[in-house]
């Protein structure tokens, strides 16, 4: 395997064909961290649209840490999976309290932050700090497995092998490029091998294997689109509850006394209780009353 030639081919392809996403234009660690949390379970292009507005409102960890959960959840509208907003705020508080307001630059410290797992921590290290580590999302794992694998099965061996493919000169561009290859060329069901910059070295394109990797456990950035939420699902119900609270005036109590969609009043109240346990809303003096958490 001519790894130097593969690096050159991939990076040249990325320079000409890479997706122009707003958060790829910065190496600010906080901005990168926010983008990675946003894109954990949301398409990259959609996350990029919301990221610009969110960063204007919360440009630093201190700004987010000082905001109420209600303010953050309102700013998160349109991204789904609202617990990520609460976790990101908790991470900002930890950054302010334990790291003097600066995003840490070690894997151990990043993984200790609320809501930050192995993928997100390594993405911050690669994209913000230029460390030669591989943030392994579904796209990256699939491309590496098809082209340069087979990859190991165990998480530790998979990470070590993937890290070994990262060029020391430009680890951020390498990972961005592999993500884009997986998203646009080497898809889970359709492969456009003729357009792939590493076709000459690819074991799958050259008939040595038909393997296709499955994704890792932690959701990665731009790895896959969020599944649609149908009215019969708990996810849909939780989203509608949060949306009603977002639409209410700040600190106003909202009454839930009617079914929502296909969900009974009892089902609605069950999810309200669970959202309260998740730290997204607070309960009122009556069982039907709640509001977004307003305390800082």
Q: For 143-187, what is each residue's pLDDT tens digit?
A: 999 999 899 989 999 999 999 999 999 999 999 999 999 999 999
Contacts of 4 (CB under 8 A, 6+ apart): none
Cα-based torsion angle of the residue sequence 217, 220, 224, 228 in order, rounded to the nearest 10 degrees: 80
Residues known to be catalytic:
36
C-alpha span between 265 and 268 (Å, rounded): 5
Q: What is the pLDDT of residue 172?
A: 95
Residue 118: name the closest of 136, 101, 96 by CA. 136
Q: What is the pLDDT of residue 14?
A: 97
Mean pLDDT, range 3-22, rounded to an integer: 95
**Above pLDDT 90, what percent of the chain?**
75
Per DSSP, the three-state class of 282 is strand
Contacts of 42 (CB under 8 A, 6+ apart): 79, 80, 81, 226
Q: How many residues does the chain have?
A: 296
C-alpha span between 13 and 8 (Å, rounded): 8
What pTM was computed for the model? 0.84
C-alpha span between 138 and 183 (Å, rounded): 10
Widest pairwise Cα distance in the chain: 68
CB 198 within 8 A of CB 6: yes
CATH 1.10.340.30, applies to 19-129: yes
CB 178 within 8 A of CB 144: yes
Beta strands across the sheet bearing 281-283? 254-255, 289-292, 281-283
Q: What is the pLDDT of residue 41?
A: 78
pLDDT tens column, 105-156 = 999 999 999 999 999 999 999 999 999 999 999 999 999 999 998 999 899 9
Q: Tokens for 247, please give them.
A: 């639409």
What's the mean per-residue pLDDT of the chain?
90
Q: Tokens for 123, please give them.
A: 């993405």
Per-residue pLDDT at 89 exceeds 90? yes
Where do the domains of the chain lie?
A: 19-129, 234-292
C-alpha span between 142 and 214 (Å, rounded): 7
């Amino acid at each position: 395997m001519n790894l130097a030639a593969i690096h050159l081919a991939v990076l040249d392809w990325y320079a000409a064909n890479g997706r122009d996403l707003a958060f790829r234009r910065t190496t600010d660690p906080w901005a990168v961290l926010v983008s990675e949390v946003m894109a954990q379970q949301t398409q990259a292009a959609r996350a990029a649209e919301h990221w610009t507005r969110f960063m204007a409102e919360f440009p630093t960890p201190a700004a987010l840490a000082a905001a109420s959960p209600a303010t953050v959840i309102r700013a998160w509208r349109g991204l789904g999976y609202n617990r990520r907003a609460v976790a990101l705020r908790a991470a900002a508080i930890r950054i302010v309290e334990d790291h003097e307001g600066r995003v840490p630059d070690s894997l151990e410290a990043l993984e200790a932050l609320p809501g930050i797992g192995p993928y997100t921590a390594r993405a911050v290290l690669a994209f913000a700090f230029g460390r030669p580590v591989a943030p392994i999302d579904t796209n990256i794992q699939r491309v590496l497995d098809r082209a340069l694998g087979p990859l190991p099965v165990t998480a530790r061996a998979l990470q070590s092998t993937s890290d070994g493919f990262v060029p020391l000169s430009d680890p951020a561009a390498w990972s961005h490029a592999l993500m884009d290859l997986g998203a646009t060329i080497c898809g889970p069901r359709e492969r456009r091998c003729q357009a792939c910059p590493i076709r000459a070295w690819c074991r799958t394109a050259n008939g040595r294997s038909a393997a296709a990797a499955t994704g890792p456990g932690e959701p990665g950035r731009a790895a896959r689109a969020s599944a649609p939420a149908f009215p019969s699902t708990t996810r849909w119900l939780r989203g509608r509850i949060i949306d009603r609270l977002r639409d209410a005036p700040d600190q106003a109590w909202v009454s839930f006394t009617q079914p929502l969609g296909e969900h009974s009043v009892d089902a609605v109240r069950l999810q309200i209780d669970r959202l309260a346990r998740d730290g997204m809303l607070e309960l009122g003096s009556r069982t039907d009353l709640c509001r977004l958490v307003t305390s800082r």
